[in-house]
Amino acid sequence: MNPAMTHAANNPVYRRRLRRHRIGIALSVLAMSIGLAVLAWILITLLMKGFGGLTAAILTHDTPAPASDGGGLRNAILGTVMMVSLSTLISTPIGIFAGMYLAEYGERNKFAQVTRFVTDIMLSAPSIVIGLFVYALYVARVQHFSGWAGTIALSLIAVPVVVRTTDNMLRLVPNSLLEAAFALGAPRWKVSTMVRLRAVKAGVVTGVLLALARIAGETAPLLFTALNNQFFSTNMNAPMANLPVVIYSFAMSPYDNWRSLAWAGALIVTFSVLALNILSRTVFSQKTPK
């Protein structure tokens, strides 16, 4: 054995640090195993209880009346797709431009520092608080629930995610790349958009997908904004059906048919969010720019 290694092995400080290292690794592996076991338990339970409810009627029929057979989730799926899509269209440009502003001026501008602080607060704010905020600011004034109110609430949840992801990704761009662009005479706005943003476009798209996955399963803000609608409707200025609220309502009902639809809806939402997360971490994954 190497004399240096023998000396280190006989050192009590080294042995104590090695013991702590092994304990830390063992606890980390244990925590990871528990998390994976819980995730597998949830997915298996959803598959067992929800797979049987996945029929063609899910996409072709609306939510059924109480104590009736059959039915589907067409209106709820449509409402969720409409509100989530509009929220993504609203939050993406706002979040990207705000993230670019923070990356460019965040260190030297007091307003940018305040913006970053508010963004961090919004990231950790409970979604039900945002729902109550939109209810008081919009729903209470117009005197009715609507898909627009739900879209506003979901947008307020998605914007901080896009802002923080864009800001962090733009900060990974090396200064040498920016200095080279400035040396060629490019103006600051062109360096920000054509050089800096383009270098981390995959990371920004990942942030947008993560924000989309975040809002796809939100229930609490929609209870105070979009509420629900048992009929097929594309009117955004009226109460609108959505999967999270339908799942919440049907899961607590005494009707077997409703509970079966709730499990099927939960399976759809869970695997949709899971697919978006996998997509964001594989297809659009990007290494740190060099």
106 pLDDT more than 90: no
Looking at residues 136-156, what average pLDDT do you find? Answer: 95
- Shared-domain flag, residues 152 and 206: yes
Instruction: Count up the domains in the chain and report the number.
Output: 2
The pTM of the full predicted model, rounded to 2 decimals, is 0.86
Instruction: In whole angstroms, give the CA distance from residue 223 to residue 242.
Output: 10
- Shared-domain flag, residues 222 and 273: yes
Return the pLDDT at 105.
81
Looking at residues 49-66, what average pLDDT do you find? Answer: 90
Return the pLDDT at 189.
85
Residue 289 forms part of a structural domain: no
The token pair that represents 172 in the structure block = 């990974």
- Shared-domain flag, residues 24 and 125: no
171 pLDDT more than 60: yes
Return the pLDDT at 289.
47
Pick from 84, 85, 61: which is nearest to 74 by CA?
61
Return the pLDDT at 228.
92
Confidence of residue 97 (pLDDT cuts 50, 70, 90): very high
- Shared-domain flag, residues 48 and 174: no
Instruction: In whole angstroms, give the CA distance from residue 72 to residue 53.
Output: 9
Instruction: In whole angstroms, give the CA distance from residue 57 to residue 71.
Output: 6
Residue 162: give the domain boundaries.
57-282
